[in-house]
Amino acid sequence: MNTNNIFLPIIIPLIGALCALVSFKKLRFLLESSAFVIAAVNLILAVILFKENISLNIPWVLGLEFSLRLYHFSAFILLSVAGFGFLVTLYSLRFLRGKEYANQFYGYLFLTLSLANGAVLANNLILMLFFWEGLLLTLFGMIAIGNKNAFQTATKAFIIVGISDLALMLGIALTAYLAGTARISNIHLPLDTLGSIAFILMAIGAISKAGSMPFHSWIPDAALDAPLPFMALLPASLEKLLGIYLLARITLDMFILTTHSAMSTLLMAIGAITIILAVMMALIQKDYKRLLSYHAISQVGYMILGIGTAVPVGIVGGLFHMVNNALYKSCLFLTGGAVEKQAGTTSLEKLGGLGRNMPVTFICYLITAAAISGVPPFNGFFSKELIYDGALERGKIFYLAAIVGSFLTAASFLKLGHAAFLGKRSEENKNIREVPLSMLIPMIVIAATCVIFGVFNALPIKYLIQPVLGEGLLEGHNFSGFPTNMFLVAVTVIVLIAAFLNHLFGVKKSGSGLHASDHIRNAPVLVKIYDLALKRFFDPYEWGLKFSRLLADISWAVDRSIDWIYDKFSVNLTYSLSRQISALQSGNYSLYVVWSLVGAMLVFVLFFIK
């Protein structure tokens, strides 16, 4: 195959983006069909390229090289991106019908696909940074076309991601300096002092793209303000894929991460904290999309935890979880979109009993919710077991955090399902119907994939994930099939049963599915923490805003005082001095003579001072 074909995944979506941006509103059919065709072509291309192994290095401006590399890992991510891109496009065809911003959305979507493909294929750190920063712009654009508050949220996302991208930029500069080259496939650095700094900086870029804490706070806001397909595409799947892809690249290839390294522990700690805190926030949400968005954050914790373990089982688990999460999280968002489209709201207080109206959506929700909670035999169960295995090997505390996260995840999805699809149906919701087929197909496809990846987990693990690690790291292990450690399975089952019992207890206590988690919400210590969290007390962005406002106030005060010195103080001083001097001019000539004589004295004194 021609090596130039490697450009196609970048160029084809770019063409789509241009087409979408220039198309008129009246030509809706043309817009939608071209979007569908481009997305489909992109997917087919990814499938064709899947088995290829292409490397391309072209000298570029300023002594940089335009270096792309297609191999099994990037081909795998490329395929995933193309797949989600296609499904989200298919879903959006119906969802966005009649929305003003449709052509803009498609434009940004294909631009995102193009840039994401570029970032995945790039084999040069600086080239990758170029695509990476481009994604920042499309992120901003896609959020900003949402509702009224969207611009503010877009700014927030832009600032947070921008800051972490700055860290990535510094990390790339340091890495390129340490390695002496910017070609990714040639970089293998040990984690000494400088190496650790470079690693942390690049990891910040990666995990912030994936949406880990403490770079998460824009995601729940975007869930409410941005168009829904955006949530299904970016925070749920694409950003996770890219972020975890980069994290895997830096932990597996570019830096030599071992189990003894402090960096490994650091990553695991970040993962564990993200799991717990985000899922606790998810538990108390009363909005479909916002609840999901917190899970999008929480699940990243598992991946970071898995990759951070630096043992093969954990890494395989983390990568497998990345794929799984992308699947079920995007499907969950799509069900959320379906509910929004039909019921007109995503607030859980107004929903309820939709299961009978939208059976297919409900079934898809059930499958994916079970998958995210780690119920066997769905895909989430297997990836989580692998992560548990790795975490237990590194420390009981991380395992404990993962298990608690699992418990709360299950509890929150029980609550969500109960509140949205079961329970009493209000009068307004009686006439709600199932969503059209083009919106159902993506959900069904993804839900089916969840089942397939669960039951036949050898398929993805053997052919997609284990090659990433390579034989050297695997040491002949094979992680597919049913988990071998029966202790872990037993604990998982116990936890799931506990979560179900907890839900029943909560329902009995509060009387409704919506308030099933209130007893946790109102627990003695947690209630205060939750109150603070709801006031965004723990949002680093808010702290940043406060700090910058403080800085601005201080600068303003300094500016005012400097202004005062120029404007008031010096002028008044000069004026009063001037008046004093004028007042000395009294008109008494004998006084004038005295002055002159005093001056003469001074002259003589000055003469005799050497």
Partner 1 sequence: MMHTLVLFPFFALIILNLPLRVIFRRLSFWVVFALSLIQIFLVFFPQNAFWGTHFNFLNTFFRFNLSADGLSMVMLLSIGIVTLTALLVARQMITDSDRMALFCSLLLIAMAGMNGAVLVRDIFSLYVFLEITAVASYIMIAFDKNIFSFEGAFKYLVLSAVATAMMITAIALVILFSGSTEFYLINYAIRASAHTSLIVLSLGLFLCGFFIKAGLIPFHSWLPDAYSSAPAPVSIFLAGIVTKTTGVYTLIRIFISIFGFNGQSQRILLLAGIISVVIGAIAAITQKDFKRMLAYSSISQVGYIILGLGCASSLGIAGAILHIFNHSVFKSLLFVNSAAVETQTGKTNMDEISGLGEKMPVTAVTSTLGALSCAGIPPLAGFWSKLLIILALWVGGLHVYAVVAILSSVLTLAYLLSIQRKLFFIKGNSEENSQIKEAGFGISLASTLLAFISLATGVFFPFIINSFIVPFGKIFGRF
Partner 2 sequence: MNLHLVILIALIFAALWTVMTRSLIRSAIGLALTSAILTIVMFALNAPLAAVFELSVCAGLISVLFVSTISLTHPLSRQEILQHMKDRLTRFWYLPILVAVCAIILSALDIKFSLKLPAHETENDVRVVLWNLRQFDILGQIIVLLSGVFGVVILFREKNKK
Rule CB under 8 A: is residue 590 a binding residue for partner 2? yes
Cβ closer to partner 1: 24 or 589? 589
541-553 CB burial, b ≥16 within 10 A, e <16: beeeeeeeeeeee
Q: Distance between CA 547 and CA 314 in Å, rounded?
A: 38
Segment 547-576, which members bind partner 1 (CB under 8 A)? 574-575
Cβ closer to partner 2: 580 or 590? 590
Rule CB under 8 A: is residue 594 a binding residue for partner 2? yes
User: Residue 426: which of partner 1, partner 2, none does it interact with, CB under 5 to 8 A by kind?
Assistant: none
What token pair was written down for 423?
């329970």
Enumerate residues 6+ apart whose C-beta is below 8 A from 169: 129, 205
What token pair was written down for 315?
């890494």
Segment 236-255, which members bind partner 2 (CB under 8 A)? none
From residue 537 to residue 576, what is the string marking binding to partner 2 with x (rule CB under 8 A)? ----------------------------------------
# of chain residues touching partner 1 (CB under 8 A): 27
Cβ closer to partner 1: 552 or 584? 584
# of chain residues touching partner 2 (CB under 8 A): 5
Helix locations, 422-539, DSSP H: 437-455, 458-460, 466-474, 486-510, 518-521, 524-534
Q: Distance between CA 183 and CA 44 in Å, rounded?
A: 28
Residue 188's Cα: distance from chain center in Å? 27
Nearest to 336, CA basis, from 264, 201, 236, 472:
236
Contact 215, 207 (CB under 8 A): yes
Which region, judged by CB under 8 A, interacts with partner 2, from 136-144, 208-216, 503-511, 597-605? 597-605
Q: Which helix (H) or strand (E) holds 21?
A: helix 8-22
Which region, judged by CB under 8 A, interacts with partner 1, from 89-97, 264-272, 360-368, 581-589? 581-589
What token pair was written down for 174?
């340091």
Contact 52, 70 (CB under 8 A): yes
Contact 371, 332 (CB under 8 A): no
Cβ closer to partner 2: 177 or 595? 595
Cβ closer to partner 2: 11 or 597? 597
Q: How many CA atoms lie less than 13 Å away from 57 in the CB half-sphere?
A: 10
Give the SS3 label for residue 351. coil
Binding residue for partner 2 (CB under 8 A) from 1, 504, 597, 602? 597
Rule CB under 8 A: is residue 602 a binding residue for partner 2? no
| Smallest separation (angstroms) from partner 1 to the CB of 608 | 8
Nearest to 251, CA basis, from 319, 170, 163, 157:
319
What token pair was written down for 553?
């106030």
Which region, judged by CB under 8 A, interacts with partner 1, from 56-64, 408-416, 475-483, 577-585? 577-585
| Smallest separation (angstroms) from partner 1 to the CB of 600 | 4
Cβ closer to partner 2: 571 or 597? 597
* Token pair 């808010």 in the structure block, residue: 542
Nearest to 447, CA basis, from 113, 94, 36, 87:
87
Cβ closer to partner 2: 552 or 597? 597
Which region, judged by CB under 8 A, interacts with partner 2, from 193-201, 456-464, 536-544, 596-604? 596-604
400-436 CB burial, b ≥16 within 10 A, e <16: ebbbbbbbbbbbbbbbbbbbbbebebeeebeebeebe
Angle CA 282–305–251, to nearest 5: 135
Binding residue for partner 1 (CB under 8 A) from 177, 564, 569, 592? 592
Rule CB under 8 A: is residue 604 a binding residue for partner 2? yes
Segment 477-536, which members bind partner 2 (CB under 8 A)? none
Rule CB under 8 A: is residue 592 a binding residue for partner 2? no
Cβ closer to partner 1: 347 or 574? 574
Cβ closer to partner 1: 152 or 574? 574
User: Residue 2: which of partner 2, partner 1, none does it interact with, CB under 5 to 8 A by kind?
Assistant: none
Which region, judged by CB under 8 A, interacts with partner 1, from 294-302, 405-413, 421-429, 589-597? 589-597
Could you write out the DSSP letters of every residue in 291-315? HHHHHHHHHHHHHHHHHHT-SHHHH
Nearest to 468, CA basis, from 329, 321, 320:
320
Cβ closer to partner 1: 486 or 609? 609
Binding residue for partner 1 (CB under 8 A) from 397, 504, 527, 598? 598
Q: Distance between CA 310 and CA 394 in Å, rounded?
A: 9
| Smallest separation (angstroms) from partner 2 to the CB of 590 | 5
Q: Please give the C-alpha separations between residue 603 and each of 360, 598, 606, 607, in angstroms, as whole numbers.
A: 106, 9, 5, 6
What token pair was written down for 562?
């400097």
Binding residue for partner 1 (CB under 8 A) from 501, 558, 565, 600? 600
| Smallest separation (angstroms) from partner 2 to the CB of 569 | 38
Cβ closer to partner 2: 534 or 601? 601
Which region, judged by CB under 8 A, interacts with partner 1, from 121-129, 408-416, 509-517, 600-608? 600-608
Which region, judged by CB under 8 A, interacts with partner 2, from 123-131, 288-296, 385-393, 589-597? 589-597
What token pair was written down for 435?
């969503």
Q: Which residues bind partner 1 (CB under 8 A)?
A: 574-575, 577-579, 581-582, 585, 587, 589, 591-593, 595-600, 602-604, 606-610
Q: Which residues bind partner 2 (CB under 8 A)?
A: 590, 594, 597, 601, 604
